[in-house]
Structure 1
Amino acid sequence: MATDFLGRMLRHDLPNPNTSPELFDGILTRRVMAFLIDCVIMGAAILIVTLVAGILGIFTFGLTWLSIPLIVPLTFVVYYAVTLGSASRATLGMRATDIVLTPTRETTLDGWMAMIHVVLFWISCSILTPFIVLIGLFTPRRQLLHDLVLGTMMVRRSPMVRHWQTYARAGDAAQ
């Protein structure tokens, strides 16, 4: 079994970019497009929640206006935790661009991991932008810095389903 750069065990059934290039085809472009779609969705959500808080502030004598600085970070964290932490392991933008988040280590991907993923993403974005995409050009599975740290990768959903089905059939035949 292989290990990652921190010495942790990688899953034995990870797709290899050399034997399954269709899983990683255009993945960085798809990630950027998914990010832009998600920004539009979150922007609309932030606008609606801010307007509601502003209107409620009139009736609560300004009390709900105190929540306005928390709206943006909470919207980002909740959106990613609910979508990435779901069974589909994809945000709405990722679903539209046919990509999915997959763990590379022997761990599950849940809401907590999704929240940590988004926090690390935004920290690395704020420090290294636009260099986070450049990191993906030099990793075989097109992983970005936060993917490497957390043990995740993005792959195309439709070819991935075929990959796991082929892998499961090969495992059944070996038994």
Structure 2
Amino acid sequence: MPHTPDPDTQPEFYDGVPTKRLLAWVVDMIVIVAMCLMILPFTAFTGIFFFPFLMLVIGFIYRVITITTGSATWGMRLMGMELRDLRDQPFDFGTALFHTLGYSFSWAVAPLQLISVVLMCVSARKQGLSDMVLGSVAVNRRRGV
């Protein structure tokens, strides 16, 4: 990955990223639950019976839209981080879609999510499985951007 920030010469881009990703995930989950609760009355409250599926769908849409429009979910933006592709560019729709698909698949297969979390903690670029497959990185947002 020659174009993403080098963790040896530019470690500031990766400082605290695993912790920030965890905190961003908590914020994003709160936002997704709130959105689902707001949608619930429009399902005549039958959404209670398929609430996990509703969360999956709303969460998927939320992640794709927010990552496409700002290369970060609202939680990531709050934590001062962003996702960059292997050319060090912000995510476009396709990359956001594939990253979200990878994220969703890793949650569906629990050992993959565990591996992803471990990789975020120990790899030089703090990448999860979806990041490694796509060549993307989560970095601290650049100053002035």
TM class by smaller structure: 0.7 to 0.9
The question of 1:131 aligning with 2:115 is answered yes
d(CA) in 2 for partners of 1:91, 1:22: 21
Structure-2 change in CA distance of 1:126 and 1:159 (3 Å): farther
Classify the secondary structure of the residue corresponding to 2:142: helix
d(CA) in 2 for partners of 1:84, 1:94: 9
The question of 1:95 aligning with 2:77 is answered yes
The question of 1:141 aligning with 2:109 is answered no
Q: Which runs of 5+ in 2 are unaligned?
A: none
**Superposed displacement of residue 94, structure 1:** 0.4
Equivalent of residue 33 in structure 1, options 13, 23, 42? 23
TM-score (norm 2): 0.84
Classify the secondary structure of the residue corresponding to 1:154: strand
The question of 1:78 aligning with 2:68 is answered no
Structure-2 change in CA distance of 1:51 and 1:155 (3 Å): same
**Superposed displacement of residue 82, structure 1:** 0.9
Q: Which runs of 5+ in 1 are unaligned?
A: 1-9, 58-63, 162-175
Structure-2 change in CA distance of 1:107 and 1:154 (3 Å): closer
| Greater Rg by CA | 1
> How many residues align structurally?
143
User: Superposition pairs for residues 142-161 of structure 1, below 5 Å?
Assistant: 142-159=126-143, 161=145
**Superposed displacement of residue 146, structure 1:** 0.8
Q: 1:42 maps to which residue? A: 32
d(CA) in 2 for partners of 1:101, 1:69: 26
**Superposed displacement of residue 107, structure 1:** 7.6
TM-score (norm 1): 0.70
Task: Point out which structure has higher relative CO (alpha carbons under 8 A, 6+ apart).
Answer: 2
Classify the secondary structure of the residue corresponding to 1:85: helix
Q: 1:113 maps to which residue? A: 95
d(CA) in 1 for partners of 2:52, 2:22: 27
